Amino acid sequence: EEQLLESGGTLVQPGGSLRLSCAASGFTFSSHDMNWVRQAPGKGLEWVSSFRASDGTTYYPDSVKGRFTISRDNSKNMVYLQMNSLRAEDTAVYYCGKSLIVALGTGPFDIWGQGTMVTVSS
Amino acid sequence: EIVLTQSPATLSLSPGERATLSCRASQSISNYLAWYQQKPGQSPSLLIYDASNRATGIPARFSGSGSGTDFTLTISSLEPEDFAVYYCQQRNHWPITFGQGTRLEIK
């Protein structure tokens, strides 16, 4: 069974840093693009980052560019999200998502983790 | 950035009825549109990708259509477990974007 399990969410002060982890199992991890998506309390989904398996290219929206960094360790089947200079508006449940392999671009997210809560507050 | 606008915001229907959800893109995204379902307290799950392809294990009552800027998710006959929030997502242009969601509630 394909699974993702996030960890690392906690309460952090504004301006602080945090690293989220996502452990993958049940599929050939190195072959798939991996992603992070967040959801603020009571709000919709917001894409946060992607890591292309084919060439290691990473992508971010402007809202986190320069503050967040996605990385992966294919030997451990792990993907990470390093979050720096955290703001109150980064408060959300953070989901790890696996992309389907598709012919063009990064695929839709067919497997999601259960999420980990990040709260940025003093 | 491509903006996805979903309508209606809330849809009230009864089990057995047909549901039609809309997603409109601010510019053409070819057929690179996915639909997700999210139930309260759960992670989203993929229903449809590339506009019309059902994901693994998704029942045939779910279907998707459209291309370019206008897309539709249809649930042919609502089951009690279908009442949830539905999001569309485009992957044609970076940044990946989601619609704001349609809440499908029991009438």
3-class state of residue A29 by DSSP:
helix
Least CB–CB distance from A47: residue in B49, B92, B97: B97
Q: Taking 90 as the threshold, does the pLDDT of residue A10 lie above it?
A: yes
| A49-52: Cβ within 8 A, 24+ apart | A49/A81, A50/A99, A50/A106, A50/B96, A51/A79, A52/A106
Confidence tier at A105 by pLDDT (50, 70, 90): confident
Size of interface A-B (CB pairs under 8 A): 63
pLDDT of residue B85: 98
Mean pLDDT taken over chain A: 97
Q: Is the N-terminal amide bond of B59 cis, ω within 30° of 0? A: no
Residue A7, amino acid: S
Q: Output the six-digit token pair for A30.
A: 């190195």
Residue-wise pLDDT for A57-92, tens only, equals 999 999 999 999 999 999 999 999 999 999 999 999
pLDDT of residue B80: 97
Q: Which residues are bridge partners to A6 per DSSP?
A: A22
Q: Taking 90 as the threshold, does the pLDDT of residue A102 lie above it?
A: no
Contact B91 A108 (CB under 8 A): yes
Residue-wise pLDDT for B33-70, tens only, equals 999 999 999 999 999 999 999 999 999 999 999 999 99
User: Whole-angstrom Cα distance, residue A95 to residue B103?
Assistant: 20
Please tell me the distance in Å from B81's CA to the nearest CA on chain A.
19
pLDDT of residue A97: 98
Residue A31: its H or E element? none
Residue of chain A nearest B103, judged by CA positions: A44
Q: Taking 90 as the threshold, does the pLDDT of residue A109 lie above it?
A: yes
- Three-state SS string across A52-117, please? CCCCCCEECCCCCCCCEEEEEECCCCEEEEEECCCCHHHCEEEEEEEECCCCCCCCCEEEECCCEE
Confidence tier at A104 by pLDDT (50, 70, 90): confident
pLDDT of residue A49: 98
Query: First and final CA of chain B: distance in angstroms?
Result: 35
Average pLDDT on B68-80 reads 98
Residue-wise pLDDT for B3-21, tens only, equals 999 999 999 999 999 999 9
Residue of chain A nearest B42, judged by CA positions: A114
pLDDT of residue B43: 98
**A42, A54 in Cβ contact below 8 A?**
no
If we measure between CA atoms, which residue out of A36, A52, A43 comes closest to residue A109? Answer: A36
Residue B33, amino acid: L
**A106, A35 in Cβ contact below 8 A?**
yes
Residue-wise pLDDT for A16-56, tens only, equals 999 999 999 999 999 999 999 999 999 999 999 999 999 99
pLDDT of residue A103: 82
Give contacts of B 7-36 with A, CB under 8 A: 32, 34, 36
**A4, A24 in Cβ contact below 8 A?**
yes
